[in-house]
Amino acid sequence: MRIVVFFLMLFTLNGCGTGMANSPFAALKPVSPEISLKNFELVKVGLTEQTYRLRLNIKNPNAFPLPIQALNYQLFVNNKPFFKGANNQPVMIPALGEGFMETNINSNIADVMEGWQQWFSLAKQTIDYRLVGDVGVSSYAIPIPFQYADKVDLLIKH
In a domain, 152, yes or no: yes
pLDDT in tens, 24-36: 444 467 899 999 9
**Number of separate domains in the chain:** 1
Nearest one of 68, 57, 63, 55 to 144, comparing CA atoms: 68
Q: Indicate which CATH number applies to the domain containing 125.
A: 2.60.40.1820
**Residue burial 144-157, b: 16+ Cβ < 10 Å; e: rest:** bebebeeebebeee
pLDDT in tens, 47-63: 778 888 889 999 999 99
Q: Tell me, yes or no, if the pTM score tops 0.75.
A: no
Query: What angle (nearest 5°) sits at the alpha carbon of residue 69, between those of residues 150 and 64?
Result: 80
* Structural domain containing residue 95: 31-156
pLDDT in tens, 139-158: 788 899 999 999 877 665 55
Q: Is the pLDDT of residue 114 over 60?
A: no
In a domain, 52, yes or no: yes
In a domain, 21, yes or no: no
58/12 Cα distance (integer angstroms): 41
